[in-house]
Amino acid sequence: MPEGPSIVILREAAAKFAGRRVLSVSGNSTQDIQRMRNLTVVAVRSWGKHFLLEFPRFSVRIHMLLFGSYRIDEDKGTPPRLSLAFSKGEVLNFYACSVRFLEGDLDDHYDWSGDVMSDDWDPAAARRKLRARPEALAADVLLDQNVFAGVGNIIKNEVLHRIRVHPESTVGALPARKLGQLVTQARDYSFDFYHWKKAFQLKKHYQVHTKTICPRDGTRLSYRKHLGAAQRRAFWCDTCQRFYG
């Protein structure tokens, strides 16, 4: 599943379609996708893992789910879920994704301050949300899109290793300094992810995700296929990541 930084990269690549009129629409989505035909894209936006095309009076939300992908000005050779054609032969294609329409103003649907990569990101609000969930695991709250929109499993594993916190630590047991680091690094690592991915170097920078040895102390990493309420893969070091709880 693409994480927030990957969606920001998509948003930047698709920004050229803002202000452009959709000439034709196709795809195997069951939604009423033809309603976009002959309309002008007002803005290209994103929130967390959601890619958003804003039109007058409504927007279309694309969620990549587990296996979604996109192509700009080319096709993948498989039927798209949604394809928008513009002038000069330009096209925006989405595959194996969720397509949903959001009526009215996007501000009524999204809290932009909850997106870790947004200019409106509010770390104080994130800390308040975390303090309201003292029994939750650190691994689970990082994946909660209501707190950290855009954070996915790679970022979760890497942030917890970076701040030396065991994934099964409870939020209420974290010292204030560690709680602050968790909030800060959720955003900082997301931007590191963004820069590394744009440079095609993301996997080279993994410290624990999909790895077997901790680069910090040489200890063999622990792994669990399903951890926490989210039941996502977890990689961590029992030597340098302290358990709080």
Q: Per residue of the chain (245 residues), give pLDDT as tens.
A: 789 999 999 999 999 999 999 999 999 999 999 999 999 999 999 999 999 999 999 999 999 998 999 999 999 989 999 999 999 999 999 999 999 999 999 999 999 999 999 999 999 999 999 999 999 999 999 999 999 999 999 999 999 999 999 999 999 999 999 999 999 999 999 999 999 999 999 999 999 999 999 999 999 999 999 999 999 999 999 999 999 99
Whether 94 contacts 127, CB under 8 Å: no
Question: Using CA atoms, how far apart are residues 98 and 61, in angstroms rounded to an integer?
Answer: 8
Whether 171 contacts 135, CB under 8 Å: yes
* Listed residue (69, 42, 65) closest to 53, CA to CA: 42
Report pTM.
Answer: 0.94
12 Cβ neighbours under 8 A, 6+ residues apart: none
Question: Using CA atoms, how far apart are residues 197 and 10, in angstroms rounded to an integer?
Answer: 12
